[in-house]
A and B are shown apart, each in its own frame.
Chain A
Amino acid sequence: MSENPNKLNLDQLLDLKRAEKPADDFWDGFQREFRQRQLQTLIEKESGWKQTVRMLFARSSLLVPFSGVVVALFVLALNFKQEDPLQKGYYEVVDLVQSNSQPSSVETSQEISQITPDVEEVRTNPVDLFPAAASFVMDSIHNEEPEPLNYTREFPTSTIPAEKRAVGALVSYTIARDNPSFGFSARPQTIGF
């Protein structure tokens, strides 16, 4: 109790602060608002990349094409970065095309251009002969589908430098033929020569 009846002490004043409370029905609204926000948090948690990954893995029909695209891009990236293992095969193909197109009796390029202008074009830039596309069918190994997926992938060649096109096509074809891995097998269909 205060010594002076006209004055309060600090404890008594702070008692007023302790008595500042919301009414009882305030807490119903508080709880309702909290549940709404909690639900919103749970929904947000499910969205975004997690949901995408979950969707991909839940549906094998989406996973296989997705994996195929990833692997194909990976193979192409490797092809551009590393020494091409099929370099030899590439030159063999080039030689084959050139020998088939070039008349054996022609001695000089001057004469070639006079006789067959098309052949001259082949000799100066032989890779332009190749539209360079390897297409193949991918079947899922583990998707338990009775029918093959028949997913056909043709590599676009417009972004590939001209001198790499034939090699890219060969690599794609060979990888598809020899590597039934990454959850799918690929049956080569065509190679664009």
Chain B
Amino acid sequence: MSFVKSITQPFTGSDQALSERDADWLVVQRVQAGDVAAFDELVIKYRERIYSVIYNLTSNKEDSFDLSQDAFIKAFQSIARFKGKSSFFTWLYRISVNTTLSFLKKNRHRRFLSYENISEETGTSDIIEVLAAKTGTEKPTLLKELQHKLNEALQTLSVKHRTVLVLFEIDNLSHQEIAEIMNCSVGTVRSRLHYAKKQLQSELQDLLD
């Protein structure tokens, strides 16, 4: 029984996660007690991660801005009903992912991409420089090209496969966390992830080993 409990509560696995969950819960309780300004602390803490997951799902920075705002407003409006059964982080992610999936479903026929800038401290800068030198292309131009091909390839994945891939590969969430957010089993997450990576590799075949 305790084993079952431990695998259904992924955020109690480490002291850090536990303390983070507790810290969030304290802030949530302040908001629930009427301290509206306390919600700012949660927005500041999670805005980059929420924006990132939404941007990686939509590949559109304007939509991501609006959807992140929507997600935080929805969380604020529903916070009185949040009972702390899951961590605030998981709950907020679920709201954000659901908001984004609804948007993508609604607008599936009129989508265009608009990209964020790639920050300088990317771990691939060395190899990009080598590639740029070999192909005789300027580094910024090569980066733009790679960014475009990668985002287009991501958009060819189904929404469910893209979500799993983004949450696992880019946002570094665990299988269990993803399962909780997407309301499915860990097995389903693994299988979707495997399929998504395979499809993405096939889409980017020209660029990959």
Show the binding face of A for B, using Cβ within 8 Å: 1-10, 12-23, 27, 30-31, 33-35, 37-38, 41-42
Please indicate the chain B residues that have their CB under 8 angstroms from the CB of A6 in the complex: 131, 134
Show the binding face of B for A, using Cβ within 8 Å: 36, 39-40, 43-44, 47-48, 51-52, 55-56, 61, 65, 68-69, 72-73, 76-77, 115-119, 121-124, 127, 130-131, 134, 143, 146-147, 150-151, 154, 169-170, 197, 200-201, 204, 207-209
Q: Across chains A and B, which 7 residue pairs bring their CB atoms closest together, nearest first?
A: A19-B122, A20-B116, A7-B209, A15-B124, A19-B118, A12-B124, A19-B119
A16 and B51 form a contact (CB under 8 A): no
Please indicate the chain A residues that have their CB under 8 angstroms from the CB of B151 in the complex: 17
Complex Cα distance A35/B52, Å?
Answer: 20
Please indicate the chain A residues that have their CB under 8 angstroms from the CB of B154 in the complex: 17
Please indicate the chain A residues that have their CB under 8 angstroms from the CB of B150 in the complex: 13-14, 16-17
User: Chain A: interface secondary structure?
Assistant: helix
Whose C-beta in chain B lies nearest to the C-beta of A40? B73
A16 and B208 form a contact (CB under 8 A): no
Task: Give chain A nearest CB distance to B6 CB in angstroms.
Answer: 30
Complex Cα distance A40/B121, Å?
Answer: 38
Please indicate the chain B residues that have their CB under 8 angstroms from the CB of A4 in the complex: 209
Whether A31 contacts B119 in the complex (CB less than 8 A), given A6-B131, A10-B197, A17-B150, comes out as: no
Complex Cα distance A94/B46, Å?
Answer: 80
Please indicate the chain A residues that have their CB under 8 angstroms from the CB of B169 in the complex: 14
The listed residue (A16, A33, A42) touching B36 by CB distance below 8 A is A42
The 16 sampled A-B contact pairs (Cβ below 8 Å) are A2-B127, A7-B207, A10-B197, A10-B201, A12-B123, A13-B207, A14-B169, A14-B170, A15-B122, A16-B146, A19-B121, A20-B115, A21-B117, A22-B61, A30-B68, A31-B40
Whose C-beta in chain B lies nearest to the C-beta of A44? B77
Task: Give chain A nearest CB distance to B72 CB in angstroms.
Answer: 6
Count of chain A to chain B residue pairs whose CB atoms are closer than 8 Å in the complex: 109
Whose C-beta in chain B lies nearest to the C-beta of A22? B116
Task: Give chain B nearest CB distance to A131 CB in angstroms.
Answer: 55
Whose C-beta in chain B lies nearest to the C-beta of A36? B69
Please indicate the chain B residues that have their CB under 8 angstroms from the CB of A20 in the complex: 55-56, 115-119, 147
Complex Cα distance A19/B154, Å?
Answer: 16
Please indicate the chain A residues that have their CB under 8 angstroms from the CB of B73 in the complex: 34, 37-38, 41
Complex Cα distance A147/B96, Å?
Answer: 58
Please indicate the chain A residues that have their CB under 8 angstroms from the CB of B121 in the complex: 19
Complex Cα distance A7/B52, Å?
Answer: 26
Please indicate the chain A residues that have their CB under 8 angstroms from the CB of B117 in the complex: 20-23
A16 and B118 form a contact (CB under 8 A): yes
Complex Cα distance A4/B208, Å?
Answer: 9
Complex Cα distance A153/B204, Å?
Answer: 81
A16 and B76 form a contact (CB under 8 A): no
Known: A15-B123, A17-B170. 8 other contacts (CB 8 A): A8-B146, A10-B200, A13-B208, A16-B143, A27-B48, A30-B68, A37-B69, A42-B36
The listed residue (A3, A8, A22, A34) touching B69 by CB distance below 8 A is A34
Please indicate the chain A residues that have their CB under 8 angstroms from the CB of B72 in the complex: 34
A10 and B55 form a contact (CB under 8 A): no
Whose C-beta in chain B lies nearest to the C-beta of A1? B127
Complex Cα distance A136/B204, Å?
Answer: 86
